[in-house]
Structure 1
Amino acid sequence: MAVTPKARDLIDVVFSWSLEDICNQDFYKNKVGKIPGTFQSAEHYFASFVYPLLEETRAQLSLGLELISRAPFAELICIDKVETDEELLYNVRVDYWRNRSAGRCLDPYRTVPGDLVIFADAKLETFSDVQCLGRKTWAFALVTEVRENEIEDDGTTVCFKVRVSKETAEGDGKNKWTFMYFLINITTGERIWNVLHMSGNLNIIKQVLFTDSKVSITL
């Protein structure tokens, strides 16, 4: 499912991707090009960086799914919906984390806000396992808050709040999730996304970047 980069947050775009989108190496092929050295406007300047950011995020997530067998994971003990009209938020508790020192992490894994995870109703050994799951038996989720007062002796966190994709969390699928796998952290991507969409500071940026009728930068 192709989505224009006008979503409120980066995670809104990520949640809109299907598994096929994530694994499609050409998904943004016609959107990502060489970033020009001269821009027609400040809006053009920012837009030139949006699709490269989305492509980088998609590629990282695709790799995370391919390496799912080495990903840190835990078994869900409970997942309770937070009453809110805006987003699907859940308070989550897991038992303990396995594979903490495996995968691409330099340090033993510790849950932090910005972690993108996947909930599933079965243990996952390969990306094919994810593809074989029913649509309502898995979901992507973003860690939004970590309870620092409930950190375990080994430094891991077992209680946190997550935002779950509306599309994949509808129905009774949320009652069937039993495992949680860490995929990537998108904090840096979210910060870049927010900068690229900070319309409130657009006038200041125009004053700084405009040269004659065009925006010019040295790359």
Structure 2
Amino acid sequence: MEEVAGGGSSWPYAKKPQQHQLGRSLTYHHPYQGQGRRLQPAQRHQLPDVRAPRPAVVLYTTSLRGVRRTFTDCSAVRAVLRGFRVAVDERDLSMDAALRRELQGLLAARGRAFSLPQLFVGGRLVGGAEEARQLHEAGELRRLLEGAAGQDPAFVCDACGGVRFVPCPACAGSRKVFVEEEGRTSCCGHCNENGLVRCPACSS
């Protein structure tokens, strides 16, 4: 394992997992805030932008502490990505059962067993905590993340406070809506089983 100054490890939680666990108040979805773009004079023969799209970084995790090893692994990978200052679309399976089904389908299509966390970069499955650790120590994870959108690790979404979900605006989180034409209430079709929708301000 790679050693750093002071005899410690470069991988989070090698000795003291609790020191690097991040609160759910932090989220890593948006590019740097407050960086304006200067307008340039129009050019008659300007070439089209043919740059490759930035690879999306998606991390499937859980915020539940029921299985300590799983929670610690999720926190470790999250901390490493935070250190690279990249924007991460973090998908918390404990908040939405649809995300669990989504990940199960992705892993099944690749012949992989279900486990958390799972990291995808540019649509490519990187793997779980052990794969991410090995790539990080070999210096390969940095290469995989090249070109990804940047993110201030201290950024906190004003809309959701960093939890990445907000109450459904259609039913206010009650999961019930009143159908005037029928004069009755009906189950809301816009939110998940918890009456939540993904935050439109910080989730893709």
TM bin (shorter chain) = under 0.3
The structure with more helix, counted as a fraction of residues: 1
- The TM-score normalised by the length of structure 1 is 0.22
The structure with more strand, counted as a fraction of residues: 1
- The TM-score normalised by the length of structure 2 is 0.23
